[in-house]
Amino acid sequence: MLTLSPLVMTVCAHFLFIRIGPAGEAGRSAEVYFSEQAEAGDPKFVSKVAGTKLWVQTAPGSFQPLEVREGVDRLRAPLPGAENLSVVGSCEYGVLARPKEIPFLLRYYPKAIAGDPDELNRMTPRGEIPLEIMGKVEGDKLRLVLLKQGKPVPGVVFHAVDADLTESEATAGPDGTAVWTPPAPGPYSIYARDSTKQSGEAGGKSYEEIRAFATLALAWPLGSQKADPEAVSLFEQAVAARASWKDFPGFSAKLAGESNGRPYTGTVRFLADGKVDLKVDDPVASPWLKDQFESLAMHRRAEAATGPEDKPILRFADDREDHPLGRLLTFDGGRFASSYRIKGQQIMVVNRRMGPKHLTITVLDNDQNADGKFLPHSYVVHHWDATTGALDRVETVQERWRRVGSWDLPASHTTSTASGGGFSVRSVTLTDHELLKTND
């Protein structure tokens, strides 16, 4: 065994890397890049690696194939909801014939891991993959082994690339292992090469050698972390900036609207405890109205967390501070969404996994009330299939408000839905708002 020693150098070669993303928009996914590290590279190479196959391991020895889709500058595959993941892949790039070099067949075997170190250490290699890097977490170190046909490769050189493209390397000892201590938190992309003198033909081209590269990408340190005070503060500021129904007495209103061309009328009472009493003359519109009004009441009521189950662990999901929709916060526990984006003291994106579906709410714009607090004005809701990543439907929502006393009450609500079944519009307008008295 040899210990990884840092050698500062600049990376210029491209390899195939996998990055396991956080639970964000459209759910969690594995993204494949042909680049210097596990980041988006030159789009012209994507078609060359589009045939990459991926498998995910969520329990030791249990592999599930992933559906890989080609994007503009990357490949993407939706991931299951498991917290501990090992994703491994296989790609035959093709035969290359460079000047003054023998023609060779190029193959890539990318891999990425994410989750709890103890659980990841129990993951097994995929026997069908001829070349795979195994990384075992040992405290603040990572033990690296390159397996070729299931056996450690002695003397192999491991290269570790950080976010700044600074590379360090080490040569494995006679037992095929090297120990690496990550110098700082952050993403790392590791690769190793294996060459075999072997003649053959692929894609109508002859070759005299097979060159294979195995890669391993991870974000260090692995596993869940403690709450980040800065992330907690960012979230609490956004929650405090929302308009809420503090000391809410409830109200009643008349309503009229249209559900896919069907007009209806009725009345509604929003009670102080968040319950909704609805009377409407159309049985088709009634369930939709009930759902919309109960959701509206839940989001406007001012309720503080009362127990440990209501206090999730908040931390930044990545290091990106310049995302157009704001910082991505991830949540563990509690009754909250799996992740949020926050910008300008506003919650701009909400991501949730709801059973077999992923849901993303993206705010287009907010209103500010008389107190300077934010109220939703328009937003878009995307619904995805959690297994396939296919888009199910898109809803565009517009809301308007009326100030009565100290509270902002709903004046209108319109939802436009686009799906494979077509386009539909449902709307409701509330009038004659009256605050409820104590004995109502």
Give 319-370 pLDDT, tens digit per residue: 889 999 999 999 876 555 689 999 999 999 999 988 889 999 999 999 999 9
Kindly report, residue by residue over 397-411, the tens digit of the pLDDT. Answer: 999 999 999 999 999
Number of Cβ within a 10 Å radius of residue 313 = 16
Please tell me which residue, 152 or 101, carries the higher pLDDT value.
152
Q: What gap in Å lies between CA 317 and CA 231, rounded to an integer?
A: 10
As a whole number of angstroms, the longest Cα–Cα distance in the chain is: 92
**How far, CA to CA in Å, does 366 sit from each of 329, 352, 373?**
20, 21, 10
Average pLDDT, the chain: 91
pLDDT band for 7, please (50, 70, 90 cuts): very low
Q: Is the pLDDT confidence value at 388 over 90?
A: no
Least confident range from 9-23, 125-139, 222-236, 381-395: namely 9-23
Q: Name residue, tokens 């969690």.
A: 28
* Domain assignments of the chain as residue spans, ordered by start: 2-220, 229-435
Please list, in sequence order, all residues whose beta carbon lies within 8 angstroms of the beta carbon of residue 157, skipping any fewer than 6 positions away. 169, 170, 171, 172, 192, 193
Q: What gap in Å lies between CA 330 and CA 284, rounded to an integer?
A: 37
**How far, CA to CA in Å, does 6 sit from each of 1, 3, 36, 181?**
16, 10, 18, 10
Q: Is the pLDDT confidence value at 311 over 90?
A: no
Q: How far is CA 227 from the centre of its chain?
A: 19
Strand 75-78: give its sheet, edge to edge: 15-20, 29-35, 75-78, 69-70
pLDDT band for 223, please (50, 70, 90 cuts): confident
Full-model pTM? 0.86
pLDDT band for 174, please (50, 70, 90 cuts): very high
> Which tokens go with 278?
């609805």
